[in-house]
Amino acid sequence: GAGVSQSPSNKVTEKGKDVELRCDPISGHTALYWYRQSLGQGLEFLIYFQGNSAPDKSGLPSDRFSAERTGGSVSTLTIQRTQQEDSAVYLCASSLDPGVTEAFFGQGTRLTVV
């Protein structure tokens, strides 16, 4: 596909379970971002991957959150021992290397922790 693809589009999980969210960036884009957006709020930066550089993890809210990017393409955001406050839309974006500002966003994964 031509755009950023995220899966699943919706995820309902029980408190305490682990979840994995997937992002397929646009082919050739080496920069990849994860954001979290709670209802009616702005975008909260989580983590940023740029090429082969070490990821910028400064936005991860706790050690329950982790992300990896395999082969410079697909990325997975993992939330361990989910809590109700983790409920939000998780958005992934990608952009061209190097440092081109225009980021293309996926439709997001709506996570609900019950």
Partner 1 sequence: LAKTTQPISMDSYEGQEVNITCSHNNIATNDYITWYQQFPSQGPRFIIQGYKTKVTNEVASLFIPADRKSSTLSLPRVSLSDTAVYYCLVGAHPYSSASKIIFGSGTRLSIRP
Q: What's the min distance (Å) between Cβ of 90 and partner 1?
A: 10
Q: Which is nearer to partner 1, 64 or 110 (CB)?
A: 110
Give contact residues for partner 1 (rule: CB under 8 A).
4, 31, 33, 35, 41-43, 45, 48, 50-51, 53, 56, 59, 91, 93, 95, 97-108
Q: Which is nearer to partner 1, 46 or 113 (CB)?
A: 46
Distance CA 55, CA 89 (A): 21
Q: What's the min distance (Å) between Cβ of 100 and partner 1?
A: 5
Q: What's the min distance (Å) between Cβ of 81 and partner 1?
A: 26
Q: What's the min distance (Å) between Cβ of 93 and partner 1?
A: 7
Buried (b) or exposed (e) across 26-60, using 16+ Cβ within 10 A? beebbbbbbbbeeeeeeeeebbbbbeeeebeeeeb
**CB of 21 closer than 8 Å to CB of 111:** yes
